[in-house]
Structure 1
C-alpha cells in the first residue's frame, strides 16, 4: 500500500461531514471513488453502498464492509438568542465537546464554554451535561439562525482536519473511525484484479453504525454472503491512563482480531473458525496481529452474524487512540498490514478449507 496515497485520500474523505443518518455527502464521494475500480456499484434507500467485483471463476461470495458514519449530534432546539441545544447521535463525550469547532449543517459554529473567570470552584470540577451545552453559530436570534438554513434535526459534526505527527506514520483527526476503513476497502478494490481470486467480492459501505449497527443489518440481509469480514477501528490501551488495564492493544502493532467484542446483548463472540482463519493467514503472510477481548465496544459484526440463517463473520480491526474524539490517532502501518492480510484472504477465496462449526 502506498501510505502517502492512503493518507491523502483519507484526509479528503474524513473531512466530509457525515454523522449517522446524514452520510449523504460521504456516500456520494465514495461512490465516485469506487466506480472506476468495481464491476458494479449500487445503493439502497438507507444509503448503504454495494460494490461488486467478480473473480475469474465461480466461488463463494465474501462481503467486506466498513461503516461511513462518524459520531455527531443533531440540533435539538434553537433558543430566542440563536444558541443551539443538541442531542447526540453516537458516542459523543461531553468532556471532549466543550470549546470545539463544529459544522452545523454546513455552517461554522463553536460549542460554547463558560469563561473560567465566571465559574465557581465546583463548576471547574464537573463535566457539563450535553443538555446544558450549546452551539454558537454567530447569530443573535432564532430567526437569524433559521435564516442560515439551520433547523431542528440538522446534523452537527466536529471540524478537525487530519494531521500528521513528526513521525509521519502517525495520523490524527476526526472520523478515523471509520473513514480509514472505507479507504482501506477502496484500496482493496484498487489492488485486486479479477484474475486474482474466485467467487464474488461484495464490498459494503454501511451507514448508521454509530447508532446501532443499522446499515450493516440491512446490507447483510440483502447480500446474504457465504462469509463476511467487517473492517473497523477499535479502542486501544497504550497510553499512560490505560496501560496495565488488562487490554493489551496498541497502535503500530498490527491489525487487531477481536475474539469478543460488545456486551452480552449487542455484541459478538467471533466464530472460532473465522478467528483461526485470520490468525493462520496473518502468520502465513508475516503480518503482525493482536488478539483482543473488548466488552466495551462492538462492530457491525454484531449485526451481520445474526442475519438470515446466521452469517459466518469476523472482524479485522485497527487500533486507535482517543476514541470518539476529534483527535483520534492511528498508525498507517497497521492499515498497510491490514491490506496485506485482506489480499491474502481474498486471493484464496474458495480455498479456506472446511469452515463448518461442527466438522463431520
Structure 2
C-alpha cells in the first residue's frame, strides 16, 4: 500500500516544474497535500513550508526537512530568431542536456544540437559548453517568444515523467532529487496521526537547496529546533562505471547515513551522537541501513547545523543512480524502510537520553 501511494503522489509532484527560485507551483501542491495532516501550516516569503505536528506530551522541537527544488536553468538571452540561450541553476551537466525535452515556463521546448552530419571530428569528441547550447521552442522570432510570455530569467527544467521498471520497485525520472523526500515527509505526517510522541515535529520543505542550501538556512533560524533530521537523496555507486570506487552505496540496500558529506567549506561531519542514534534505532528495529562518506555531495544539513548556537542534526538519505539527470533511478523499498526508521525515531524520544558533546 505504501509503495503504490508513494509512487502515485511522487509521479504527480515530480512532474511539476520547480527549479530554484521558481518552486511556487510545487509549494502550492505540497501545501494542499500537507494541510489535512498538519496541526498548523505556513509558508514564508522564500517559499519554505512549515507543517507542525504536536505530540501528546511535552518534549523537544524536532525539525525534519526536505527540499522542493530541482536542478534547472533559466533563460539568459533570446536571439532575433527566437532561440533561447541558457544559464544553469543547480547541477545541470552539459553532457546530459543535449537533445533533451524541456519545459520553458510551461511551454514545450528542446535543447538543440548540431546535427552529427555537420559536426567536425573535433566537435563529435567533445561536450559543448552550456553557453553554446540553446533551446528551440518552435518559433522563428523574438516577438513570438514575447507573445508566449517567455522572458529572460524564466525557468527551464527537464520533461521526464516518473516511470516504473518491469521490476515495479524501481522508479526512474526527473526530480526524484528531492521530491521523493517531500513525499516521504508527507507520509511521516500521516503515520504520526493518532500516535503518541513527545514534543513537536516541524516538517520543513525548503527551497533553493540546489543553489546553496538557502531555504534551509532561513527555515532553521526560524524554527530554532532542538534536533534536526534532513532528508535527501544521495548518489550511489552500484553501476558498471563506478563499482570498486571505494564508495559502497547502492539502491535497494536501505537508507544511507552520510557520516561525512560535502567538502571542507560547504559540508557536514555528522555528530557522533546523531549518527549513533540513527544507526542504533535502525538496528533495534532490524532495518537495513548504509553508512557513507561522500565528499562530492552535500545536503541541507551543511547549513542547518551551523544556525543559531549550532543545531544537533543528522541526515537520512536515499540512494539514487544517475544523479542530476532526467533519468534518476531509485528503489521504493528504501523509502519504505526510511519511513519506518523516521517513525521509530520520533516515537522513541524518551529513550534518546542526553546528547551532549562530551
TM-score range, shorter chain: over 0.9
Contact kept in structure 2, 1:199 and 1:350, CA below 8 Å = no
Aligned length: 358
Contact kept in structure 2, 1:60 and 1:198, CA below 8 Å = yes
Partner of 1:127: 127
Q: Kindly provide the CA deviation profile for residues 24-64 of structure 1, in whole angstroms up to 9, marking residues without a partner as x.
A: 00000000000000100101000000000100010001000
Q: Kindly provide the CA deviation profile for residues 116-171 of structure 1, in whole angstroms up to 9, marking residues without a partner as x.
A: 11111111100010000000000000111111000000000000000000100000
State the shift of 1:296 in Å: 0.3
Which sections of structure 1, spanning at least 5 residues, go unmatched?
none
Secondary structure at 1:341's aligned position in 2?
helix
Contact kept in structure 2, 1:54 and 1:194, CA below 8 Å = no
State the shift of 1:195 in Å: 3.8
Partner of 1:163: 163
Secondary structure at 2:215's aligned position in 1?
helix
Superposed, 1:235-254 pairs within 5 Å as 235-254=235-254
Contact kept in structure 2, 1:55 and 1:194, CA below 8 Å = no
Q: Does 1:325 align with 2:325?
A: yes
Superposed, 1:168-179 pairs within 5 Å as 168-179=168-179
Contact kept in structure 1, 2:221 and 2:307, CA below 8 Å = yes
Contact kept in structure 1, 2:37 and 2:193, CA below 8 Å = no
Contact kept in structure 1, 2:260 and 2:294, CA below 8 Å = yes
Secondary structure at 1:102's aligned position in 2?
strand
Q: Does 1:91 align with 2:91?
A: yes
What is the alpha-carbon distance in structure 2 between the residues aligned to residue 287 and residue 124 of structure 1? 48
Superposed, 1:2-21 pairs within 5 Å as 2-21=2-21
Partner of 1:338: 338
Contact kept in structure 2, 1:102 and 1:156, CA below 8 Å = yes
Superposed, 1:1-360 pairs within 5 Å as 2-358=2-358
What is the alpha-carbon distance in structure 2 between the residues aligned to residue 237 and residue 175 of structure 1? 19
Q: TM-score, structure 1 length as denominator?
A: 0.99
State the shift of 1:349 in Å: 2.2
What is the alpha-carbon distance in structure 2 between the residues aligned to residue 78 and residue 138 of structure 1? 13
What is the alpha-carbon distance in structure 1 between the residues aligned to residue 187 and residue 124 of structure 2? 46
Contact kept in structure 2, 1:60 and 1:350, CA below 8 Å = no
Secondary structure at 1:199's aligned position in 2?
strand
Secondary structure at 2:58's aligned position in 1?
coil
Which sections of structure 2, spanning at least 5 residues, go unmatched?
none
State the shift of 1:194 in Å: 5.0
State the shift of 1:354 in Å: 1.8
What is the alpha-carbon distance in structure 2 between the residues aligned to residue 152 and residue 221 of structure 1? 32
Q: TM-score, structure 2 length as denominator?
A: 0.99
What is the alpha-carbon distance in structure 2 between the residues aligned to residue 350 and residue 44 of structure 1? 32
Secondary structure at 1:171's aligned position in 2?
strand
What is the alpha-carbon distance in structure 1 between the residues aligned to residue 353 and residue 157 of structure 2? 45
What is the alpha-carbon distance in structure 1 between the residues aligned to residue 357 and residue 208 of structure 2? 30
Which runs of 4 or more aligned residues in structure 1 lie more than 6 Å from their structure 2 counterparts after TM superposition?
none
State the shift of 1:192 in Å: 0.6
State the shift of 1:351 in Å: 2.9
